[in-house]
Amino acid sequence: MDIKKFDIKFNFVDGYDGEPYVLFKIQGSTEPLLKIWEGLIADLLENPDMSGNGWKGLTRDYHELKGIWADGYEETEIDLAEYLNDLAYYVNKSFDYEETEEMLESLLKYLNYAKAQGSQIVARFID
């Protein structure tokens, strides 16, 4: 299966030259990398689930400086199921940047594609 059939935008850093971003890649694959400007991630995660059940996935990593944002900014394997469950909370929410919704859709498609292929995703914060 070819990821390009899923209508995914892979580059969310154009126009934000020199700004920090997160790079997602499917391990052991030649599929395109997904690059997301940190400002779009901040916009996405601005209003996290405050139900008291604890943060998981991308929300936890971003707000608690873990995983991708841990000291050293090393390539980190993410928990696909946890990230997908976490990101589902943000579907149909409103955002400050028009591009954030498209980024979320592309990120979900990218992660779901990797999961369907039995692949893992590694991510790295680029400062």
Q: What angle do CA 61, 41, 32 make, to 5 degrees?
A: 95
Q: Give the pTM.
A: 0.93
Given this model, what pLDDT does residue 49 score? 85
Count how many residues are written for the chain.
127
pLDDT in tens, 15-46: 998 999 999 999 988 889 999 999 999 999 99
Most confident of 49-53, 54-58, 99-103: 99-103
In the structure, what pLDDT confidence band is assigned to residue 117 with cuts at 50, 70 and 90?
very high
Query: How much is the pLDDT for 54?
Result: 83
* Whether the Cβ atoms of residue 103 and residue 44 lie closer than 8 Å to each other: yes
Domain hosting residue 66, numbered range? 3-126
Distance CA 42, CA 63 (A): 9
Please list, in sequence order, all residues whose beta carbon lies within 8 angstroms of the beta carbon of residue 5, skipping any fewer than 6 positions away. Answer: none
Q: How many structural domains are present in the chain? A: 1
Pair 10, 73: CB distance under 8 Å: no
How far the first Cα of the chain sits from its last, in Å, is 33
pLDDT value at 1 more than 80: no
**Integer Cα distance of 59 and 15 in angstroms:** 25
Contact 96, 113 (CB under 8 A): no
Model pLDDT for residues 82-115, shown as the tens digit of each residue: 999 999 999 999 999 999 999 999 999 999 999 9
